[in-house]
Amino acid sequence: MKDTFFNKWVIILSLGTFLSTSLFADKLVVNASNLQIRSNPSIKAKVLGKLQKEDIVTELEKQEDIVKISGRTSNWVKIKTNSGLIGWVFGAYLKPYEYKGRNYFSFSDARDCCYKICQKNCTGAECDCGEGCEGGGYDAIIPYGWTPTKEELQNLKTYYGPDYDPKSFKQSPIPEQCR
């Protein structure tokens, strides 16, 4: 009897892991209104269509090169829409599927926010926004509204040590200057 009960739980857990990793691993959610789908990874490329906030897309490919567009830093992502349209969108306007219906502010968004505020308040030669926004690691970014993914929360455990509890993470509000 125990073997049967145990086997059922193993099957249920395995199925749950398969569904969460297979069905949603490459799914992303649009985090902007009227996000333009382009024929190539460039703001000069032909617009093929538009996506709306909370639309779900499938990631097909991600460019390695990181670029800055309109003050946001990310890479271009090749996507496929539910209707079958394939094209490129700027990755700063996508969020992980796990944040569907919830607010999300990526690590690069928080880092860009840190720079924006630092440069606005920066005076004199001793001001070093790079050291303040990047040299401090995760601790430097947390106050700027960063919403870590499950994977990033696990990275915090590696960063802070084995005693760190990812459930203890408290998200800071996104500063007004960066909304």
- Which range (1-5, 28-32, 46-50, 130-134) has the least confidence? 1-5
Angle at 84 between CA 47 and CA 69, to 5 degrees: 35
Summarised one tens digit per residue, pLDDT across range 18-68 is 444 345 558 999 999 999 999 999 999 999 999 999 999 999 999 999 898
- Domains along the chain? 27-99 (2.30.30.40), 107-178 (no CATH)
Residue 74 has pLDDT above 50, yes or no: yes
pLDDT value of residue 86: 97
Report how far apart, in Å, the C-alpha atoms of 63 and of each of 41, 66, 76, 110, 121 are. Answer: 8, 8, 6, 21, 33
Higher-scoring residue by pLDDT: 64, 121 = 64
DSSP letter for each residue of 139-163: HHHGGGT----HHHHHHHHHHH-TT
**If 0-12 CB within 10 Å is exposed, 13-18 middle and 19+ buried, where does residue 155 land?**
middle
Residue 15 pLDDT level (bands cut at 50, 70, 90): very low
Place of tokens 């203890």: 168
Q: Supply the mean pLDDT for the chain.
A: 80
